[in-house]
Structure 1
Amino acid sequence: MDTVNEKVDHGTFSPSNESIASSPERSYVQQKRTKLSAFFKGYSFPISIFSIVFLFLVFRSFVDHQPVNSCETSTVWPSYARIHDFDERYTRFSEKYSLYLYREKSVIENAEPSGIPIIFIPGNAGSYKQVRAFAADVAHQFADLLSASYDEAIASGKRNLDFFTLDFNEDFSAFHGQTLIDQAEYVNDAIAYILSLYPDTRTRSSFPDDDLPYPTSVILLGHSMGGMVAQSVFSLYNYVKGSVNTIITLSAPHTMAPFPIDRHLVEFYDSVKEYWTNSFLQPPENNALADVFVLSIGGGGLDTTVVPEYSAISSFVPPTNGLVIFTSGIPFVWAEVDHEAMAWCERFRQVVSRGLLAVTDARFPGGTKPLDERRALFWRTYVYGASIGNDLFLNKKDPLKEMLLYSEDTEYLGEVAHVTFDHFGDSNKKKTVVPLPHGKFQSFQLLTDQSLDIGSHVRVQFCKLDPSSSFPGSDDTEFGINALCHEKNEFLRLYPASTFETKHPHDGGVFYYLSAESKDLVDYDFILIDDRNFERREGFLEGFLSPLSLKPTLIDSSVLKLLTVGERLEFSPNNTLLSAFHFTGLQSSLFSYKLTLEYEIDDGVPALFAPFMKQKLQNPVESRYFPNIKSADIIMHGVSPFIDNVDTIFNKSLVLEFYMNPLKYQHVFLRIQPDYYGSMGRLLMRYRTLLASFPFVILAYVLRNQITRFNKGGSFSDVLEALELFARRGLIKLLAVVSLLTVFLSMSYRATTASAEHADNAVAAWRASAINSRSAFWKQNYLVFGLQEPMVWMLAPVLTIVFIGFSVSLNFLLTVILKCVSFLIRIFVKLRRSFKNIFFSPAKENIQQLTQETDLGDNVFKCNKRTIQFRIIANIILLTVSLTVVPFQFAYLFTCLTQICTTAKALYAAECCEYGPSVRRRWSFFNFSLSLLVIMLHLVPFDMPIILVWIRNVSMHWYIPFPTHHNFFSIIPFILVTEIQRTGRMLPRMSDLELCLNNFLLYFLSFYSLIYGAEKPYLIHNVVGLYFMWITYLYAKDFRRRDKLTKSYNPSFSCFINTPRSAHNVNSC
């Protein structure tokens, strides 16, 4: 057995071949050389195979289930005018960042700003030129508006929009909190400067507006991390109160940083969310954000950069001041958009431009309409739908108009349940009167492929009879009806067309859908359908007075049932266009489902349109459309791991709406089944951070087992061997702990959010949740795997096994790589010695030594006085530079490279030693060195992005401070341990108290990585650094003890002077 007091004979050791073959050391060498083959026979191998296969299926599922990318590029004629006057007098970042004014060459000639200011903020590595798509389209739409109705547009406060754009030199803002703070400070400086321009530029404008107030606020348009910068400007010292009242963000990660690897970045997010939450909990008169509206637009499943649910703002912005939507539900877009295409997608930019023009109004100092009107217009533009021909720009109210209806051109239908048009324009009677039999119907629904905009050829109006008029009798052939009528645009919704040839909602065509509950029509007596076509025109219109309400039928199926057996439904449309079902169990964004439909059809009824389905969530507002539906993949971006979804349980769960002709489709069979393969792809984006942080849960536990065994007098076990032991004895315990923690945390989270889920309305739910989160000790949904539903706890042990297998696979791969490096070293050494023997004549006294030498690894860790001095100087320089110039992550990379070299040399030395008493010691040192290397390499993914940020800043000649990355204690433990390792010295054995403290530190690392690995993984580096400091202490204590034992030892193999040969040094066999 290998012990500290092992005696070594310093004489010549020349055993015979028989003694070598039968020696326990040779047996130990043979065992070590069969480690890799033994790996395939243990439990670790099937776990690794399961993990690799699972991760491969996750990736394939993610790729296979990507939506169709239907975006078309936009065409612009850009012109960027840099504002050089915005210099160091106004901002301290003038040398790093720049401000530009965009002008569309084909439309705007005036180079000076004179309209309503908008600032575009690019995202991570984004360009200021990304503003061109939106600015160009706004310019063209505004020009079209002026050409159509100049006087009316100017009188309603419409002016051109001045797009300013910020050049951040493509900073990596997603990785570094200080960069975000600097950008936000620059935005505030730019806002103050821009607002100061208008008193002069408007007077010099070709269309001076003396009666209009000068703008006192701007609109912020942010893409990606630029949206987070826009949200943060309010909490900085240089923010001018009231200078921002509208924020529009595109694929911005508001809720959580995409890569939470920097302490400053996570603290930045927490501080911003805390500021917004506290502000809205204040009375309106004390709330600096009371007039601010935030529109957050997510790209959906095509966005592979930012998790779509990270666009949510409901946890810190109440529904009165915010709206979260996805592009799949935006009228005229109806498609998911990838992260980069959010800045140039043709159909999407048109809708964004329309919304910007809708909410701006130069008659107000803020340059926008009041908050309530802004909110209504945003809902109208991005949720309900309003086309260019509608009253969106001018925001007119349709007044009641007197209508005289005569029998010559009007058809009176009497009390009917439905009305159908299969074409338009060839009837003499252009107007159709549909009476409203109050008390005999619950809802009115109408669907048509004809435009219902103001000025269109088909009108649907709601009318009330003049007191002096009445409906004609059943025998009256001639009549006259006097009524007051107007259009109710608030009842109008726009849907993608659904024909029997339609494959995707964005294929083209629009359906107009009008619906209203009977209680909303009590002031009206009839519905007037006015056909103003003078020639025959193909198309359809279906209208129904339904005995059913528009409210969906509640399906209270549990999550467990939906994930195991699914759900089956049968329903009959029963004289209604809309059949809606509310599934309270469909909330999670982690799972995908397969939906299939079968119909019983009446062949005698013509099919004017194909059935289609609308899938919708209320919070966030997400709609997906399935035209010509027979089957569909049901996915949603609702309740998600590590996200606060604040709302009532009905607003968080899924509603499925089916639109079909009830006369044609008399009976429908609906089936929903879990899609396990599709669900696997949903895990990739949401748990990608845990691929880097979760392995520390296992590695810390495995290292604890290795040290415990070594401390009892055994050899230090191999990493793969220790992982195998963990798989056999510790895996079940870990799975039990993870499962219990998941159930406990999810139940605790449900208990804390119960008040919000059962609130009367969304605003009350938000306040209840905000108060609870502010007083909570921790946020349960941010811990472990972030699962918020107790019934899906089984996902936690599955993911645990996957991450364990992933870690085992990485360790196996690293071991193989080191063995290959060791093999190359041996070949190099042998070739060098052969070269010396051929071209140089060794002295006679050295010939015998060269021919009898059996250990090629004797001199691996030898070093002289000059080498020691060089190492000391190099480390002092490295430490000084990392504390002053470069972030400590740079120095950490050097320590990793040093440890790689040390481990490779340790393996080389161990494999060269065929026999002798130090065989075990050499393998033990290699195993210990490899264990430390594995832990160090797992920290590299957390450090590389910071290095990229620093390199980017240096390339721009901007030496931005890295206050959180010049930490002495974050690097010195790794430098000390790697330098000690270079001496070839083995870890000293510990006392019982020291072993307990050692185990505590490793358990703490494992526990922290398990609990906070997703929310705050950056602290794992500090915890590992603390443990490396502990290892340094153990070495220092052992050096001091050995220094007292021997004072006059002349080193021949060690870099440390006072080190006895019998110590745990691996330099000799």
Structure 2
Amino acid sequence: MARCFKIPITLVGIVLWVALVSLYNYQLVGSDTPGCRPVRMGPSYARILGFDLSYTQYASKYSLYLYREQGKDLRPKASNNYRLDGTPVLFIPGNAGSYRQVRSIASKTSNIIADKQYDGFNSKHGKLDFFTADFNEDFTAFHGRTMLDQAEYLNEAIKFILSLYSQDEVPPKSVIIIGHSMGGIVARVLPTLPNYQEDSIKVMITLSSPHSKSPLTFDRDIMKVYRAVNEFWHEAYYGNSELSDVASARLRDVSILSITGGSSDMTLPADYTTMKGLVPDSNGFTVFSTGIPGVWTPIDHLAIVWCDQLRTVLSNALLDIMDVGSSEKVVGLDERMQLLKNRFLAGFEKADSDEVLSSVTLKLDKANVHQQASKSVIKTSVSVSSVFKIGANETFSLLSLEKPLDSCVYLCSDSIRPETIHDMTDESTSEFVSFSCHDYSSMVNMIPKSNDVESIKDSSIRDKTSPYYGLRLDPDVVNEYSHLVVTGLDSLVELKESPLVEVRPGWLGSSFKVPSGLRTTVRLKGVRSSLMSYDVSYKKLDFNPIIRQFINEETKWHIDNEFNLNFHGQAPYLPPVGEDLQLEVWTGHVGDQTPLTVHIKPNFLVRLKLLIIRYRITILSYGLIVNLLVFAFQLKEYEKTNKFPTYQKTLDKLLTSECLRDLVCILSVLIRSADVSSIVRKIIAFVHLEVTEVNGLGVSGSFFLHLMFLTLSVCINVLINLLVTSFLKSGGLIKLPKPNLKVKNIVLALMVLLTIVYLPYQVIYVVLTVTQLLKTLGLKNNNEINYNVIMFMMMIWILPINVPIIVVLVHNLTVNWKTSFSSHHNILSIVPIIYLVNYKNIIRLKYTNVIIVYLAYFMSYCFFYGSINTFWLYQLFNYMCILLIVVDNEWIHRDIK
């Protein structure tokens, strides 16, 4: 590559890397600022020594502990007397997680019970015994076999835990599971295994767990576990096969709640925590911490186990669903799901209208009844009952600055047959009116306070500032009644047809007006992708509007007049969504008012940050694509001139000739033409049956993304090659001893033997990568040097795929776990690379087109599936080595002749 070209692109690469690191650490503000309060606790842990090797072989690697809050819980007296007095809960830590992470939730629950701070209405609740698994900080995200080991251990642990309660008057038959990160996936593995005890799990609560997709796709076993588990769960609720019978029997009464921290989780994209398509609404749902009443803050991946606001809600929810009098220790599925939704959902979802409502006869003092005819915003009073006659297609909205009474909002109709009478008359009442109503007061929900606060967390749980309260009833609910009554409440109410404002934001920004009224919904047309971000602003008012953004399962609140819109909608590699992002604007003004003008414009810095978070792994496949392309052009040049060109010269030719134009055209056709893309996918699937359908990079109109990743990959490769070239030039000063052929053969044979017996082949690959670079130092022929450089450039991009398994191996050795890796001892996965690195310095000028055709397939796979099946890139590279060895062998040339 010409020096004048190499220096600028090197500088571009350095600038890009600095920019990427800066963007990754770019802090979001406003509602995306973490607001978790610090916590205090008095933890103590008792190891369950009785659960030993007589129960499971994994007891030598893993341990089981019982948590006890100092000064609140009964402390164990002896190894066989744990003094259990509650319902068992099992905490499962995540990737490299600690058993001690249970302490925050367990401590809060113990304190709520001991100090009688429970704020629910369940009289059947009791104490909870928190058990926690010590996995010695295993790397479950890296290794599928490790995940299965943990699941097998936990199934035996659950049996043992339940046996500890055998002397109870009503011994429990099930435990409550709480899993953090990959611990939530391990929890979902439990019912799929043969050693699962029937009906031993009724409740699963997962915290930042990637249910829909593995965050790392470097290990084939991880992908197999995900595929098997998701199939099992899907069959349980949607299937009609022999497997679905078994799965349904185990999962039909299981409720699962997935909680994610949203935009603050930099470890794992929150999009992956969804359970859509895996679990029906009757058995589970996903919720974002930004929408949980009283929490209203994003939470990072580790803080989600200790965040004070969330642990308070979670602890109370556990008490809500308890039933100490039954053997399951929890209430039935339908009631359990409704209680969990009441605690965790924002309350404005349509599903809440399915809640069972109490019917009453409402008796009101006629002197205190005001018939409201106006359809504008009305201010109600504690001393007055406001009655509204309901018209067609009207929406009811209520905003209260204070906590409402237990009964304050009723929808009435002559068809209702009341069960009780709610008499609001007194001795001074001379005349009364009565209505037959349904009580909707339980559907009034907390919303953040917007005035006289610095941030949303100022009105969250355990803050001295009280939040606001709101209620929205859509026409499909209101139209079933004739009258609406608001009584005993200072509030702003509105009953009228609610217009839907539709806006399509432009690339340069746009503005729209929110009409006067208490609450207005704005739909941002076409705004669905999780990669989009917008800045929103409006003129500051006396009463700060409260804006709720919502799409799919996510709700987020904004109280500032300037804020950023980022969300989790259409995510990479996940099924498409049919919803646009919507804003619900609460203005809090009485009577007519000037429409609120809102300005919206794209924020490209935040968009780039979102790209980095969701496409961190993608750069591997694109970096490999660049090197495969360079190798293909080098082979063609070698065939023509008998000279193997340098890496720099070939890349220079690619970037400065018509080749670049042709490549961009091909890329455009592959992305934009559904037919061509589908044909290529089918060809890839024919060769590799484990691929799954994806939508490009998971978003529509992703041509720019592909181009950006390729540009970034070129810059990174130029930097790597610059370092390699500098090393080779300085390597002339290093005199490496000439390897003895006999010694080399013995060492290589030993490598193969170790791979068969104990070492995973990934360790050998790392050694071979270093060997490939050092081997190039001793070469004098330019053809050989250039060939070995491109081989090293490809190997260096494959290297990260192998590192996680090595990390798992080293970790197992540190905890004295010497069991071999059953899934990584296939010598055919490493012998071709061993042979090519150690015995081939150059390849023959034969069958170049065959190699190039394979390279085209390799690049196509990287392009379409490299990000979701990254582990397969190693095997494709191994197959490439086999192909190079075969076409280079003398016997094949002799036979052809």
Secondary structure at the counterpart of residue 123 of structure 1: coil
Give secondary structure in 2 for the equivalent of 1:688.
Answer: coil
Partner of 1:73: 38
Equivalent residue in structure 1 for 2:395, among 440, 443, 452: 443
Q: Quote how far apart the aligned CAs of 1:712 are.
A: 2.8
Q: 1:143 to 1:404 in 2, by over 3 A?
A: farther
Matched, 1:623 2:555: yes
CA contact (8 A) 2:844 2:888 kept: no
Q: Which amino acid aligns with 1:113?
A: L
Shift of 1:55: 4.8
Contact 2:144–2:222 (Cα < 8 Å) also in 1: yes
Secondary structure (helix, strand or coil) at the match of 2:403 reads coil
Contact kept in structure 1, 2:24 and 2:612, CA below 8 Å: yes
Correspondence for 1:188: 155
2:68 paired residue number: 103
Matches within 5 A, 1:482-881: 487-499=439-451, 501-504=453-456, 506=458, 508=460, 509-517=466-474, 520=477, 523=481, 525=483, 527-530=485-488, 541-544=491-494, 546-549=495-498, 553=500, 555=502, 557=504, 562=505, 564-573=507-516, 576-598=517-539, 607=542, 609-617=543-551, 619=552, 621-627=553-559, 629-645=560-576, 649=578, 652-662=579-589, 663=591, 665-729=593-657, 730-745=659-674, 779-781=692-694, 784-787=696-699, 789=700, 791-822=701-732, 824-825=733-734, 862=738, 867-881=740-754
What corresponds to 1:945 in structure 2?
804
The alpha-carbon distance between structure 1 residues 1010 and 517, as it changes in their structure 2 partners (threshold 3 A), is closer
Distance 1:446 1:276, change over 3 A: same
Q: What amino acid does structure 2 have at the position aligned with 1:342?
A: I
Task: Decide whether aligned partners of structure 1 residues 341 and 84 sit closer, same or farther in structure 2, where only a CA change above 3 A counts.
Answer: same
- Among 188, 191, 197, the residue aligned to 2:164: 197
Q: Pick closer, same or farther for the CA change 1:183–1:513 going to 2, 3 Å.
A: same
Deviation sequence 1:196-255 (CA, Å, 0-9, x none): 22222x2xxxxxxx4xx4322222110000011011112111112322122111011111
SS, match of residue 94 in structure 1:
helix
Aligned-residue CA RMSD (Å): 3.4
State the SS of the aligned residue for 2:65: strand
What CA deviation, in whole Å up to 9, does each residue of 1:882-902 have, x standing for no partner?
221211111111112212211
1:230 to 158, 166, 187: 187
Q: CA 1:464 to 1:778, structure 2 compared with 1: closer, same or farther past 3 Å?
A: same
Structure 2 residue identity aligned to 1:594: D
**Alignment-derived partner of residue 78 in structure 2:** none
Alignment match of 2:175 (pick from 210, 214, 218): 218
Equivalent residue number for residue 872 of structure 2: 1019
Alpha-carbon distance change, 703 to 512 in structure 1, aligned in 2, over 3 angstroms: same
TM-score, reference length from structure 2: 0.87
State the Cα distance separating 1:309 from its structure 2 match: 0.6
Counterpart mapping for 1:102-501 below 5 A = 102-109=67-74, 111-145=82-116, 156-200=123-167, 202=168, 210=169, 213-282=170-239, 287-288=248-249, 289-384=251-346, 400=360, 403=363, 405=365, 407=367, 410=368, 412=370, 415-417=373-375, 431-439=383-391, 442-452=394-404, 454=406, 459=408, 479-481=431-433, 487-499=439-451, 501=453
Contact (CA 8 Å) 2:162, 2:174: kept in 1 or not?
Answer: yes
Counterpart-to-counterpart distance in 2, 1:738 and 1:282: 38
How does 1:967-982 map onto structure 2 within 5 Å? 967-980=826-839
Residue 315 of structure 1, CA deviation: 2.8
Corresponding residue for residue 772 of structure 1: none
CA distance in 2, matches of 1:716, 1:1036: 19
User: Given residue 1005 of structure 1, which amino acid in structure 2 is its aligned partner?
Assistant: F
Residue in 2 that maps onto 1:964: 823
1:841 aligned partner: none
Q: Give the match's secondary structure for 2:206.
A: strand
- Report the CA distance shift for 1:943/1:440 in structure 2 as closer, same or farther (over 3 A): closer
Return 138-147 or 227-236, whichever deviates more: 138-147
Change (3 A) 1:665 1:104: farther
**Could you tell me which residue of structure 1 aligns to residue 26 of structure 2?**
64
Tell me the distance in 1 between the aligned counterparts of 2:822 and 2:619: 28
Verify the 8 A CA contact 1:416 1:434 in the aligned structure 2. no
SS of the residue corresponding to residue 785 of structure 1 reads coil
**Amino acid of the structure 1 residue aligned with 2:102:** V
The change in CA–CA distance for 1:477 and 1:102 in structure 2 (over 3 A counts) is closer
The question of whether the paired residues in 2 share the 8 Å contact of 1:51 and 1:801 is answered with no
1:796 CA displacement:
2.5
Matches of 1:147 and 1:246, distance apart in 2: 20
CA contact (8 A) 1:100 1:164 kept: yes
Aligned length in residues:
850
Residue 1002 (structure 1) aligned to one of 855, 862, 866? 855
* C-alpha contact 2:409 2:441 (8 A) present in aligned 1: no
- Equivalent-residue separation in structure 2 for 1:748 and 1:1003 (angstroms): 14
What is the alpha-carbon distance in structure 2 between the residues aligned to residue 1033 and residue 798 of structure 1? 36
The structure-2 alpha-carbon separation of the partners of 1:871 and 1:400, relative to structure 1 and needing over 3 Å to count, comes to same
Counterpart of 1:589 in structure 2: which amino acid?
S
CA contact (8 A) 1:70 1:506 kept: no
| Contact 2:324–2:330 (8 Å) recurs in 1 | yes
Alignment correspondent of 2:684:
none
Letter matched to residue 693 of structure 1: S
* In structure 1, C-alpha distance between the alignment counterparts of 2:282 and 2:118, rounded to whole Å: 35
Q: Quick one: distance in 2 between partners of 1:746 and 1:52?
A: 38
1:908-932 deviation per Cα after TM superposition (whole angstroms, max 9, x unaligned): xx4xxxxxxxxxxx22221112111
Q: Give the unaligned 5+ runs of structure 1.
A: 1-34, 203-209, 387-391, 425-429, 532-539, 602-606, 753-775, 830-859, 911-921, 1042-1069
Q: Partner amino acid for 1:786?
A: G
- Report the residue type matching 1:1009 in the other structure: C
Contact 1:79 1:103 in 2 (8 A): yes
Work out whether residues 593 and 672 of structure 1, in 8 Å CA contact, stay in contact via their aligned partners in 2: yes
Rounded to whole Å, the distance in 1 between the matches of 2:453 and 2:134 is 46
* SS of aligned partner of 2:874: helix
- Of all paired residues, the percent bearing the same amino acid is 28
Tell me the equivalent position of 1:1066: none
> Which stretch of the first structure deviates more once superposed, 800-809 or 883-892?
800-809
Deviation at 1:500, TM superposition (A): 5.2
Tell me which residue corresponds to 1:1047: none
Q: CA deviation at 1:411?
A: 6.3
The CA deviation at 1:450 is 0.8
Alpha-carbon shift at residue 337 of structure 1 (Å): 0.4
List per-residue Cα deviations over 1:531-558 (Å, max 9, x = no partner): 6xxxxxxxx63222x3224xx726374x
Deviates more, 1:506-515 or 1:954-963: 506-515
* Distance change (3 Å), C-alpha of 1:1008 and 1:411: closer
Deviation at 1:725, TM superposition (A): 1.6
How has the CA–CA distance of structure 1 residues 186 and 696 changed in structure 2, closer, same or farther, with 3 Å as cutoff? same
The aligned residue for residue 4 of structure 2 is: 40
Q: What displacement does 1:659 show?
A: 0.5
How far 1:437 moved relative to its partner?
Answer: 1.8
- 1:298, 1:805 → 2: CA distance? 35
Distance 2:893 2:393 in 1: 93
What is the aligned partner in structure 2 of residue 833 from structure 1?
none
Q: Which residue of 2 aligns with 1:886?
A: 759
The Cα offsets for residues 734-754 of structure 1, whole Å up to 9 and x where unpaired, read as 3223322222459989xx9xx
Counterpart of 2:339 in 1: which secondary structure?
Answer: helix
Task: Give the corresponding residue for 2:50.
Answer: 85
The aligned residue for residue 989 of structure 1 is: 844
